[in-house]
Chains A and B, each alone.
Chain A
Amino acid sequence: MNRYYVTVMLWCVSTLLAVAESPQALRGPNGFESVRLGMSVTQLITARPNIKPFGFFEMDTAIDPIKLDQMLFESEPGHAMFDSIFYKFDGQELDTIVFAGKVHGGGMNQKIEAFLDMVVSAWGKADEALVVGIDDPKGSQPGAPALMWKKDDAIVVASHTSTENLERLGRGSVQIKIQQCTKEDMTDEARVNNLLNKFFYLPDVAADKKARMLGAIMDRVRDPR
């Protein structure tokens, strides 16, 4: 084997290793393929040029690419389902992403169905269904049905306003929360609960109500067998 082939082989191996080590694609809503957990602020600015710092009364503040633990924000990102996206950094690594969209007006139930189809299309059938808190306003009942995926590098939770609250309020929301984590995190229930507590106020919901809420989404959960 001459020196040329050795060089080419080494280049191929190093390239494959680099790809393997790079943060995985988001596998989320269409249009966000260039966003990856673990990416830097500078990389996110390139991927999503309309992001800005998140802070009340800080609308005119420029992004500081070297600031640690910052939160960036994208308003009206051009996606049919979402009105805003939050990007939270742990140090200088993108650690948490939250997609949020309002649902109101006609056809709310169809919009919720479209949302559930979208997340199953992105991540497959969910690992679990659970009830979480969601920030429905004024007179809402606690609890929202949610699907959860435990990936090797992330925990993903997709939730939506319950049917009961949609009828009661005439409005609601769909939300996806993605948190970077390790494979070990996913095998430890306490760690999973810690991650969920970063995302949600976990409500105390009566068993019959919980069963009713989850009944509507169980066909999107993979068979545990």
Chain B
Amino acid sequence: MQVARSQTASLGSCEVFVYLAVEASVIQVEVEFQNSKMSSGKVIAPYTPPADVRIGVVTGDTITFKAKLTPPVTLDNSDYVWSGAQSGNGPTISINFANACNYAEGLSVMGCPNLVAGVTAMDVPLPNQAIWAILNPIAATAAYNLAAEAQNWAAANWNALGGSSAVWNCRADAARHSYWNLIMSLDPDMDLSHAEGAATAHERTNLESTPNRHNEIVMDLQNNAVGRSLSSGFMSSTPRATLQAAIVSALNAGNLTILDDFNNANEVGLLKPSNQ
């Protein structure tokens, strides 16, 4: 078996010519990922234009990556070269993401240019929201009321924000979390530290609940952080309409994060920018 030449490469796939006996074939190469809750792998599909598509995991999670060849062909293990977060050879590689970080895992098959799978791993530290509220009852009361305000704003503008009916993980969901964090950061009874504490404690409670979808938790944590980062440009007296416009602007600029599969059964959803 011999590589003739590599031909094309994009985010999710590439093609290589190989000689199988006397017959030349074109093989498409793609990267699949599979977490512990998925029954089979999902191809990390390319977007046009290419987007920052990532797998969202909580620290300690393990993801198995697999080279998908179409048509299926048996190659030597040494023909698969994995690099980045973890190096190795063979058609699959399992990686445990122990630290909070953005990772890139590359695959090269028979000289085909690297296909790169992005992974965002995040910590979800203690305490959960009940314990956090006991420690911070005044801030927790404000956070509770502001969550209701954010919920009502998102619900009233669900379609305009790009909401999906009856499911989360869409643009309106991203906006809801981000707006909640923005208004918490500016509230007189809270500060940035309280806003981060409340939002992270909420995700900790989600992690301790069943079902606990880790990629949704990562999505929420990222949108929460964006909301808090926006607060530096405003004051507690800033009109709500201005704050809401800032969230919509961030949403349309792709600064928030959504999933590419709103239903997210078995956590198949990939993180992607909110304008994709």
Are A137's CB and B137's CB within 8 A? Answer: no
B264 at the interface (CB under 8 A from A): no
In the complex, which residue of chain A has the Cβ closest to the Cβ of B180?
A56
Chain B residues with CB below 8 A from A198, complex form? 131, 134
Are B136's CB and A135's CB within 8 A? Answer: yes
In the complex, which residue of chain A has the Cβ closest to the Cβ of B202?
A56
B135 CB → nearest A CB, Å: 6
A11 at the interface (CB under 8 A from B): no
- Contact A96 to B151, CB < 8 A, known contacts A56-B198, A83-B141, A135-B139: no
Expressed in whole angstroms, the Cα–Cα distance for A84 and B199 within the complex equals: 19
B29 at the interface (CB under 8 A from A): no
Are A200's CB and B135's CB within 8 A? Answer: yes
Are B141's CB and A75's CB within 8 A? Answer: yes
Are A199's CB and B144's CB within 8 A? Answer: no
Chain A's interface size range is 20 to 34
Are B135's CB and A201's CB within 8 A? Answer: yes
Of B131, B188, B194, the residue contacting A135 (CB under 8 A) is B194
In the complex, which residue of chain B has the Cβ closest to the Cβ of A197?
B135
A32-40, A148-156, A170-178 - interface stretch: A170-178
B130 at the interface (CB under 8 A from A): yes
Expressed in whole angstroms, the Cα–Cα distance for A75 and B188 within the complex equals: 18
B179 CB → nearest A CB, Å: 12
Are B191's CB and A59's CB within 8 A? Answer: no
Give residues 165-192 of B contacting A (CB, 8 Å): 180, 187-191
B133 at the interface (CB under 8 A from A): yes
Give residues 114-150 of B contacting A (CB, 8 Å): 129-131, 133-141, 143-145, 147-148
Chain A residues with CB below 8 A from B205, complex form? 55
Binding site for B on A (CB under 8 A): 54-57, 59, 69-71, 73, 75, 83-84, 86, 88, 96, 98, 100, 102, 133, 135, 137-138, 171, 173, 175, 177, 198-201
